[in-house]
Structure 1
Amino acid sequence: MVPSKSLSSVFALPALAFLSLSASALPHPRTASSTTTLKLAVRINSYGIKNIATADRARVQALQAGDSSSVSATNAVMIYTADVGVGSPATYYTLLVDTGSSNTWIGANKAYEKTSTSKDTGNQFYVPYGDGSYASGEEYTDTVTLNSDLVIDNQSIGVAYKYSGMGSLNGLLGVGPVDLTQDTVSNTNDVATVTDNLYKQGTISSEVLGVFFAPASSGDTSGELTFGGYDASKITGDVSYVPITSTSSASAYWGIDQSISYGSTTILDETAGIVDTGTTLIYIASDAFETYQSATGGTLDKTTGLLQISSDQYQQLLSLYFTIGGVTYELTPNAQIWPRSLNSYIEGTTDGIYLVVSSNGSPSGSGLDFTNGYCFLERFYSVFDTTNSQVGFATTEYTYATTN
């Protein structure tokens, strides 16, 4: 993780047309339990990332290796943050939100303000990340305030005395599976996440997390985390669920089984991979990527690390179809390209057309053959259901948007 410069919100284009998706499996009815939503701020690295695919791929390869703590989201192009209060009275910290890690820690660029609710556990925490950066310090418990309805007592948090690569951010809010916290805190097996404790303390009735993003170019400059269920107002169909995969190493994360077709051609047979908010692009096994590159006619652009296609090739681009649990989700041609209004942020040319599907660097059969990152999640609402060990998806008003 290269230390970041300043981060800023940049999105400005209006959302255009959208349609609904027909699915081939019986979905769960669209009914949500009592839920509470945390608004997120969208940020983009304002200085750009010289090679977006290389920056992203380092995270993917750490995940593939099964090194559950060694993942980084701060060098993604698009990141989501939340202002989280710690202590009583609360001091607020701007934290990176990540479903691919689970420790929550503060202390970067802003000192921890101790109050009467602060308790030093005497244990040390250390979280290394895949690019060589890290956070380390003392583990405390304290009152954590996500919003007025989401207040957690005795939440375990790391207070970093040493860290690298956080830019202007103050730490990280980890909302991934609790198993990812193993071996990160001394004298501790694993650390209850904020979602765990909201459930254990009775604030939410189900250990479920709903995630909503909008396309970067849509003009919608916020995201949402909904604790205890999902926000039915954000979806245009029902939520369809699939069990967490049993295949390692994908099973350690929000792992699912899916297949992918380009038009009517299967490019990736059903296999295991993950859904990850901390990854910007969509990554597929190298053999599947070669087939995709051949079908699209894209050529590798060395500056961005992405496939580039011409305007004529874009007109011929077919949809990608992700089949998950018998339900097919269509990623339209427009959803497969980087937002052209944001080309400068990846050091692309003004009129360049770049594809957001890239190779993870390993052939299929690795145990983690795809990563559905932000560019997938901005088109589909996602639900992470710890209670029932499943992940769900639904269409939104942006599934068929043409804003890119």
Structure 2
Amino acid sequence: MASRPRMMLPLAKRVNSTGSANIVKFDQDRARATRQRSQASDATGPAGGSFAVGQAFNDVAISQAVSYVVEVLVGSTPYSLLVDTGSSNTWVGAGKPFVPSASTRPTGDIVSVTYGSGSFTGFEVIENVTLADGLNLPSQSIGVAAQAMGFDGVDGILGVGPQDLTCGTLINNPKKCLSTVTDTAWDLGLLDSYELGISFSPSQYVDQKNGEMTFGGVDRSKFDGDLSYVPLTTVSPASHFVGYDQSIRYGDMGSVLDTAAGILDTGTTLILIASDAFQRYQDFTGAKADDDTGLLSITQEQYGNLQNLYFKIGDIDYALTPDAQIWPRALNADIGGAEDGIYLIVADLQSDSGRGLDFINGMSFLERYYAVYDIANSRIGLAKTHHTDDETNHLDSQ
């Protein structure tokens, strides 16, 4: 049976920093909650955590420095939802209130998830959810927030991580796991393949369209060459998420992080690495901590000497060029930085290596490499893009 045409939806960048060092703190708090969530799951099993033949569809998202969001129709009301591979519950009501429709069916269950940088508690409903034109989920479980904290500028979350992350999020039904939107679309036969493609690019402006999410396939126009796949890691706690193994080295100066498990996360802006690895990276670069942003800062001369940072994933070295290792200078003011400052996007995970979650490759990595989360085959694919070697971040602020 012939596949249907893919549905393309645009993504855009939005910076929503509300205070000094906000981005670093947001990412570190999220990392802490990620570790705690997985430890709870390890202790009680996947259903005991206290946190809690078709077509490919491309969904449009918006980056707001700490996240990317997508426009989703819930019932008959559009919502801007944060796209999150690090969680799996979909919910609304953080910004725009939930508007019941003729298709709304309350279940009577209470749902609650804590993210570290925020949380929500509300009630579960079964609702008609439209992710894209032609990708309609008529009976999708979603949460409706009665209370939500830490989600300024978005209406909720579109959770596209592993289904196990939904287990235990129903307070009065803790052994139940919920179908993610990707699971539902696959079960309904709407997708060609059980996978999720993720494409972003560097951006110099707030609200600049710069990405795409593809349900049920990949968009070959967004990457160069072939995808290279690695299996999902079996090392806990990274194994509870979209996790894999990698090592990191700095140019020809040596290892930053020996082979270790970590995760790919669209809900994280920066690249976080274990504290001992972070110290080695800081020593190699000569960077100094900046009190205003919380990031590492380097001089123009140090930038000129900056070497590639290599992420070895499988048999492939994925390089972040010097330009890819710095925050876009045109957006320095949005993070409380100096107009002429140069800030590195590698930050401290705040835990030493060897704990099973030693890195988080966030959006700063995904803006340079195409990724596919192949759920059916328990693997992750990566490829270079037209933007891998872009030299845009170092441009002076406008």
TM-score calculated relative to the size of structure 1: 0.86
Paired residue type of 1:263: G
Q: What whole-Å deviation, never above 9, does each CA across 1:293-312 have from its counterpart, x for those lacking one?
A: 11111111111111111111
1:402: Cα distance to partner?
A: 0.3
Q: How does 1:302-381 map to 2 (within 5 A)?
A: 302-381=291-370
Deviation of the 1:167 alpha carbon:
1.8
For 1:108, the equivalent position in structure 2 comes to 94
1:97/1:173 contact within 8 Å kept: yes
CA distance in 2, matches of 1:400, 1:93: 34
1:257 equivalent to 2:228? Answer no
1:242 maps to which of 230, 236, 248: 230
- Pairs within 5 Å for 1:279-318: 279-318=268-307
CA shift for structure 1 position 189: 1.6
Cα separation, 2, equivalents of 1:121 and 1:232: 40
Instruction: Note the C-alpha offset of 1:156.
Output: 0.3
Contact 1:33–1:229 (CA under 8 A) maintained in structure 2: no
Tell me if the contact between 1:273 and 1:368 (Cα under 8 Å) persists in the aligned partners: yes
The one of 97, 120, 125 equivalent to 2:106 is: 120
Structure 1 CA distance, aligned partners of 2:149 and 2:375?
A: 31
Structure 2 residue 201 is the aligned partner of structure 1 residue 214: yes
Which of 368, 371, 396 aligns to 2:385? It is 396
For 1:134 and 1:269, how far apart are their aligned partners in 2? 33
Unpaired runs of at least 5, structure 2: 41-48, 53-61, 394-398
Matched, 1:177 2:165: no
Given candidates 207, 214, 223, the residue that maps to 2:211 is: 223
CA distance in 2 between partners of 1:347 and 1:332 (Å): 24
C-alpha distance in 2, partners of 1:333/1:70? 38
Length, aligned pairs only: 368
Rounded to whole Å, the distance in 1 between the matches of 2:154 and 2:217 is 28
Determine which of 32, 49, 56 is the counterpart of 2:27.
56
Give the conservation status (yes or no) of the 8 Å contact 2:205–2:331: no
- CA positional deviation for 1:110: 2.6
Tell me the amino acid that sits aligned with residue 55 of structure 1.
F
Q: Residue 198 of structure 2 aligns to which amino acid in structure 1?
A: V
Whole-angstrom CA distance in 1 between matches of 2:198 and 2:87: 15
Cα offset for 1:172? Answer: 1.2
CA contact (8 A) 2:51 2:112 kept: no
Deviations 1:315-359, CA, capped at 9 Å, x for gaps: 111001111011111110110011111111111111111111111
In the alignment, which residue of structure 2 is the partner of 1:12? none
CA contact (8 A) 1:43 1:81 kept: no
Per-residue deviation, 1:117: 1.6
Distance in 2, matches of 1:69 and 1:337, equals: 37
Q: Residue 34 of structure 1: CA displacement?
A: 6.1
Paired position in structure 2 for 1:278? 267
Q: Residues of 2 paired with 1:49 and 1:70: CA distance? A: 28
- Residue of structure 1 aligned with 2:184, choices 171, 175, 197: 197
- Structure 2 distance, partners of 1:169, 1:218, is 18
Q: For 1:221, what is the secondary structure of its paired residue?
A: strand
Instruction: Give 1:40 deviation, angstroms.
Output: 2.8
Contact 2:21 2:295 in 1 (8 A): no
Query: Counterpart amino acid of 2:91?
Result: W
Give the Å deviation of 1:81. Answer: 1.4
Q: CA RMSD in A?
A: 2.2
Q: Residue 37 of structure 1 contacts residue 227 of structure 1 at CA under 8 Å; is this kept in 2?
A: no
Q: Do 1:34 and 1:205's aligned partners in 2 also have CA atoms closer than 8 Å?
A: no
- What letter matches 2:23 in structure 1? I
Partners of 1:69 and 1:303 lie apart in 2 by 35
AA partner of residue 196 (structure 1):
D
**Contact preservation (8 Å) 1:34, 1:229:** no
CA distance in 2, matches of 1:33, 1:109: 34
| Change over 3 Å in CA distance of 1:33–1:364 after alignment to 2 | farther
Q: Give SS of 2:67's match.
A: strand
